[in-house]
Every structure is written in structure tokens, then in C-alpha cells.
């Protein structure tokens, strides 16, 4: 009796077709996330050509991944979001059921948002002493924790409400990339690293990589939020014009001039000097 080797199992044409369709589906999804076309939102009203794309990774782990479509741990603004492409507005709830709030530090504002020294100051400076604790403003996930150019030791947190906050000039970073943080949790110690003239916290609020005025969201004096919902449009990212100080013309008095001091100085009067 001749023994024959077992024949390999053959898959049906339908099974092969289903496998091919699944591979094509996931490849298209991954290409969408790898690209730089960021017109993919939950609510696409006001955005041209925006189709809803669902996350192909673990849902909910990276906050608002289906909006940002990008998780970069080494670049502050990798999204290349074009503000002019906004034809409407976006509404984001500031405090969701899983998102609390706390002030980063208790110090007051020493430098506001806007133009400063001829260039844009993309955040606010808050006073502190070297070694003071710096807290996360909202719950979220650490996206960056590194030395970043003029920011020095810098931490960026993406929050569950869709915005990102930046904490610059830290003397020490106490969180790592991918770490979950809660509002009020210590993420670093204050300092003066990077381009800094003294110990302070440089604090920024950003959406899609673009900075907006933190004072439109947070009352730093009353330790409270100013609104429950953030509404972003093309005007939300505008920078206030620089403050121009006009100096009053100074008219020099004769009695303060050098000729008066030469003619009527007490020393010359006592010696009987005459001009």
C-alpha cells in the first residue's frame, strides 16, 4: 500500500477575499493617520472635505487621537494645522467627567500673552522660586518631556478636553512620555533653564499646535476657569497688538542747564567769580 502525503488545506475564494479586504481597510486607516491632512474631526461642520476617521489604535489611550491623528514626542507642533482652513468653529468642553483642573503654580502673571521685545510671546509667565512644584493643569497624558530649545526643560501634556499645555524653564522634569497625569499632580520643579532671565514658569495653552491666550480660559488670580466650553475659530489664535508707549517730549529748563551751573554755582559765588 502506497502512503500519500497529506494535501495542504486550501482556503476558499470567499475567505481569501475577506482577508484581502481587511488588509486593505487597515492599510487605508494607517495611511490616514500617517499623513499630514488633519481635516479629520468628530464634528466636521465648517471643514472642507472632512470625513470622520476612527482611531486604529487603542481607543481613549491617547486623548483626542482621532482629532490630532498624530502622537509626536519630540516636536512641539507636528500637526501643521492651517488656521485659514477653518470655515466655522469648534466647541470643546473644558471639564469633562474624567478631566479636573488645578493651577500650575500659585504665582501671579509677570508677563502676559502677546508681542514682547518685537516677537510673539506664546504664553504667560508665572512667578515662582527655583525648586517650587509645578502641577498639571488638567488630566491627560504626557506627550513631551525633554530639553526643547529656548524652553529649556519642557513638559507638554495633551488633555482629555482636547487642548495641550506646555510648562517651560523647569529645573527638573518629574514625568515621562506616555505617563498618565491628574490635575494638580506634580510634573516638575520650577527653574530658569533655556532662554530665561530668571526663575519663572512659562505656561502655554495650545489647540492643534497653535497657541492661544491662557487668560481667555483661566483666571489666575481667582484660581478658577472662565468658561465651561471653548469655542475655536479663526480669531481665537490672533495675537494682541503690541503696547506702544508714547514718551512726552522733555523741554530742558535753563535752571537745569550747564550754563546756569557754571554761572551760579555756590562755589563760584564764594570766590567772587564773575562770568
Residue that has been written with the C-alpha cell 489647540 in this structure: 207
Is 182 buried (19+), middle (13-18) or exposed (0-12) by CB count in 10 A? Answer: middle
- Type and span of the H or E element at 27: helix 13-34
Q: What CA–CA distance (Å, rounded) separates 48 from 26?
A: 24
Residue 223 within any structural domain of the chain: yes
Identify the pLDDT of residue 120.
Answer: 81
Total tally of structural domains belonging to the chain: 2
- Give me the average pLDDT of each 10-residue run along the chain (275 residues): 54 67 54 37 31 35 69 88 77 79 93 79 92 96 94 94 94 95 96 93 93 92 91 78 54 55 55 53
Q: Same domain, yes or no, for 194 and 145?
A: yes
Identify the pLDDT of residue 130.
Answer: 95
Query: Among 214, 232, 250, where does a domain finish?
Result: 232
Confidence (pTM): 0.66
Identify the pLDDT of residue 25.
Answer: 55
Is 67 buried (19+), middle (13-18) or exposed (0-12) by CB count in 10 A? Answer: buried
Q: What CA–CA distance (Å, rounded) separates 211 from 239?
A: 9
3-state secondary structure of 255: helix
Q: Same domain, yes or no, for 228 and 114?
A: yes
Q: Which three cell numbers stand for residue 169?
A: 524653564
Identify the pLDDT of residue 243.
Answer: 55
Q: Same domain, yes or no, for 116 and 209?
A: yes
Identify the pLDDT of residue 23.
Answer: 62
Number of H helices, E strands in the chain: 4, 17
Residue 221 within any structural domain of the chain: yes
User: What range does the domain containing 227 cover?
Assistant: 109-232
CATH code: domain of residue 136: 2.70.70.10
Identify the pLDDT of residue 95.
Answer: 85
Residue 135 within any structural domain of the chain: yes
Amino acid at each position: 500500500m502506497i502512503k500519500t502525503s497529506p494535501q495542504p488545506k486550501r482556503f476558499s475564494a470567499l475567505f481569501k477575499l475577506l482577508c484581502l479586504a481587511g488588509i486593505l481597510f487597515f492599510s487605508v486607516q494607517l495611511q490616514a493617520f500617517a499623513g499630514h491632512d488633519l481635516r479629520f474631526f468628530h464634528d466636521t461642520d465648517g471643514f472642507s472635505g472632512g470625513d470622520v476617521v476612527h482611531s486604529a489604535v487603542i481607543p481613549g489611550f491617547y486623548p483626542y487621537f482621532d482629532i490630532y491623528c498624530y502622537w509626536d514626542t519630540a516636536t512641539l507642533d507636528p500637526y501643521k494645522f492651517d488656521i485659514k482652513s477653518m470655515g466655522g468653529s469648534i466647541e470643546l468642553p473644558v471639564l469633562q467627567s474624567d478631566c479636573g483642573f488645578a493651577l500650575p503654580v500659585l504665582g501671579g502673571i509677570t508677563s502676559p500673552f502677546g508681542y514682547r521685545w518685537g516677537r510673539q510671546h506664546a504664553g504667560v509667565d508665572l512667578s515662582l522660586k527655583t525648586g517650587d512644584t509645578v502641577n498639571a493643569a488638567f488630566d491627560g497624558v504626557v506627550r513631551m518631556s525633554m530639553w526643547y530649545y529656548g524652553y529649556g526643560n519642557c513638559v507638554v501634556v495633551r488633555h482629555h478636553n482636547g487642548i495641550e499645555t506646555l510648562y517651560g524653564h523647569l529645573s527638573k522634569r518629574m514625568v515621562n512620555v506616555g505617563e498618565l497625569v491628574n490635575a494638580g499632580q506634580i510634573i516638575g520643579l520650577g527653574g530658569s533653564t533655556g532662554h530665561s532671565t530668571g526663575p519663572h514658569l512659562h505656561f502655554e495653552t495650545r489647540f492643534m499646535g497653535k497657541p492661544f491666550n491662557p487668560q481667555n480660559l483661566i483666571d489666575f488670580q481667582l484660581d478658577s476657569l472662565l468658561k465651561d466650553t471653548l469655542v475655536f475659530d479663526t480669531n481665537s489664535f490672533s495675537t494682541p497688538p503690541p503696547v506702544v508707549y508714547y514718551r512726552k517730549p522733555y523741554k530742558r529748563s535753563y535752571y537745569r542747564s550747564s550754563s546756569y551751573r557754571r554761572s551760579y554755582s555756590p562755589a563760584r559765588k564764594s570766590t567772587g567769580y564773575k562770568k
